[in-house]
Amino acid sequence: MAVTNMIKIREHMPVVCSDGGQFGTVDQVEGSSLKLTKDDQGQHHWIPMSWVTTVDEHVHVDRPGQQAMREWMTESPERQPVTAS
């Protein structure tokens, strides 16, 4: 994703999946991830910036909503421990 698109991302922007529905709202950018606002259960979710295809009045991602919700993270990737291989 181009840096100029990253700069356009603002708090409270809708996050729209490839099938057109909104599945989240931007809370903030954290490193190489987007932190989404809390859901109805009070849980934040994170998605990689690599999913973002374009930014206009919405943040558009490259996958359908159901897939995105299966693959999003429930902990900040910036806080996840690095494991030795």
Span 16-38, pLDDT tens digits: 999 999 999 999 999 899 999 99
pTM for this entry: 0.84
Q: Is residue 41 part of a domain?
A: yes
Per-residue pLDDT tens for 45-84?
Answer: 999 999 999 999 999 999 999 999 999 999 988 765 555 5
| Structural domain containing residue 22 | 3-71
- Number of domain units in the chain: 1
Asked if the structure places residue 77 within a domain, the reply is no
Residue 85 within a domain: no
**Is 76 among the domain residues?**
no
32: in domain: yes
What are the tokens at 10? 């603002």
Other CB atoms within 10 Å distance of the CB of residue 43: 9
Strand partners, 46: 35, 73
CATH number at residue 44: 3.90.50.10
Which of 59, 53, 50, 61 shows the shortest CA–CA distance to 8? 59
How many helical (H) and strand (E) elements, i.e. helices and strands, does the chain have? 2, 6
Is 80 among the domain residues?
no
